Amino acid sequence: MKPWLFIPGDWRRPRNKESFQLYWCEKSQLGCIHPLPELNKIASFYDIDEYYTHHIDFTGFVSASSISFFDKLRTHLAWRFDRGVDVTSKWWKQQFGTASSSILEIGCANGHLLQELHAEGHKVWGVEPDQQALVLAQQRGLNVFYGTAESLPPEVQSRKYDIIVMNHVLEHTRDPLLALRNAMQLLVDGGKLVMEVPNNSCIGLKSSGIAWMHLDVPRHLYFFTPQSFRAICEKVGFEIISTQFNGYYRQFDNTWINDERKIFSVFNSIASHQIVKRHENSKVQAWKLLLKTIFAADENKYDSIRIVAQKP
């Protein structure tokens, strides 16, 4: 691996005087933070009131309310050319049918998806390491237990599951291979694994640089492209059923633009060296990104990759 990006701080906790170095392997298309944070420090990275999993009503990306005609035009065009689909009960029926399944979601956040699936008649369990999100999930009346993908709680290790979900989880793990091996052990033969991670082949990353929303260092520790994401699943022994892409429209919403501008501003205020100005997001830059990506290949267009894999 070679040095890739220097991140001058944690934009969500700018008072913390720490910086981070990311490394990238071009051959394997895999990135990581190095050195990895100590295990006892990771929980503090999520001790943020505005973190998205800390709200019971959060279900996805929320559009800004006050927008101009050109904002509406930009987001409408992006929406028209967005074929990505979130993991919802509707998507679930299209992928797996309506038969009742036993489902484990590792990193279930506030339990929104599990509640949807439970309402559809599935038997559901969850694991969540973020204490604030865990409480919210338990308030929904769900069987959710404290743990991580690498250190699963005994309450979920006592049974096997038809399907395991890890939605934007693998990039948070210190040991992705161990996380996947744990999932493999808990699946029935022929069981399915549904995973989604940020897509580092996304043109949006090249456009926004260190201010790209999905870098989110130090909460994200590993960085994948479709190539490395499939490779790590196959290394553990999973058979890839499908590779899907998600997350296009939101890249052109005012909320996304403003958040990336905020990230850039925080980094610019704490950086020990000048940050290249061309990476600061703006509505003009969003229009340029739209023109570059509207007909781009899926692996370069969407900000997230999803894999549906199967245990042999």
Residue 281 has pLDDT above 60, yes or no: yes
**177 or 272, which is more confident?**
177
Residue 280 has pLDDT above 90, yes or no: no
The pLDDT tens digits of the residues spanning 70-101 come to 999 999 999 999 999 999 999 999 999 999 99
Task: Assign 3-class secondary structure to the chain.
Answer: CEEEEEECCCCCCCCCCCCEEEEEECCCCEEEECCCCCHHHHHHHHCCCCCHHHCCCCCCCCCCCCCCHHHHHHHHHHHHCCCCCCCCHHHHHHHHCCCCCEEEEECCCCCHHHHHHHHCCCEEEEEECCHHHHHHHHHCCCCEEECCCCCCCHHHHCCCEEEEEEECCHHHCCCHHHHHHHHHHHEEEEEEEEEEEEECCCHHHHHHHHHCCCCCCCCCCEEECHHHHHHHHHHHCCEEEEEEEECCHHHHCHHHHHHHHHHHHHHHHHCCCCCCHHHCCCHHHHHHHHHHHCCCCHHHHCCEEEEEEECC
Residue 290 and residue 252 in contact, taking contact as beta carbons nearer than 8 Å: yes
Task: Tell me the C-alpha distance between 56 and 140, whole Å.
Answer: 9
Mean pLDDT of the chain: 92
pLDDT-derived band of residue 17, with 50, 70 and 90 as boundaries?
confident
* Amino acid (one-letter) located at 107: G
Residue 50 has pLDDT above 90, yes or no: no
pLDDT at 284: 94
Question: β-strand 161-167 against 102-106: which pairing, if any?
Answer: parallel
pLDDT at 56: 61
Question: β-strand 161-167 against 187-198: which pairing, if any?
Answer: parallel
pLDDT at 83: 96
Residue 62 has pLDDT above 50, yes or no: no
What does pTM read for this prediction?
Answer: 0.93
Mean pLDDT in residue range 3-12: 94
The pLDDT tens digits of the residues spanning 169-208 come to 999 999 999 999 999 999 999 999 999 999 999 999 999 9
Mean pLDDT in residue range 209-233: 97
Residue 59 has pLDDT above 60, yes or no: no
Mean pLDDT in residue range 23-39: 96
pLDDT at 278: 56
